Amino acid sequence: MLKIYLARHGQDKDNASGILNGYRDEPLTELGLEQAKTLAKEIVAAGLHFDAVYSSPLRRAYTTAETITDALGIAKPVVMQDLIERDFGIMTGKATKDITKLCAPDILQADPITYFLSPEGAETFQDLIERGKRVIKEIQEKYKDGNVLLVAHGDFGKMIYAAYYNLDWKSVLLMFHFGNSELLLLSEDSSPEEAHVFKFKQYNH
């Protein structure tokens, strides 16, 4: 049986500053590096092994992925372009605190995040689900069993989860928070409610 593990990157400079990053490519903060190391230690302590690790091309994800592969002593992460974060369109670089002011009423209020739905130039959540299905299909075609780790981002990570379990995107946005360096399990023998493997104290959204 194939088990797909899905991690979100550690805190980056935009996260810490309350800036919407999207395709912006800021490095991890010191806290973000510690979060990545903590996740790697938890993975090692749990005895998890990965047959392959794939990462978004953005360095906040790749550094997190590389921290894990180094801790496990396995091959470096493979960059998968489709794992990149959602294109935030005109909201890229804007302050998170301004989402409601700039995007209401086209928003969805979750805990603790306010999601903007379709500002100019941004991928929609339905777009992300379609991209998530493409990622899952590619992994399932390459691996029939074993464990594969994907290191991605908050918005897109949740839509990979939605795509895998065939869930409505709105329901998933409201269902749980996918925090920095948290790990999800997507598997035939793991229900959606059991997806969180590791949860950590969060310092930002």
Q: Is residue 153 annotated as a catalytic residue, yes or no?
A: yes
Active-site residue (options: 153, 177, 196, 205): 153
146 backbone φψ class: left, alpha, beta (φ>0; ψ -120 to 50): left
The CA distance from 19 to 86, in Å, is 14
77 cis-preceded (ω within 30 degrees of 0): no
- Rounded to whole angstroms, the Cα distance separating 31 from 166 reads 34
Taking the C-alpha atoms of residue 87 and residue 204, their distance in angstroms, rounded to an integer, is 20
Given the residues 9, 177, 196, 205, the one annotated as active site: 9
Q: Is the peptide bond before 192 cis (omega within 30 degrees of 0)?
A: no
Residue 49 annotated among the catalytic residues of the structure:
no
Q: Which residues are identified as catalytic? A: 9, 153
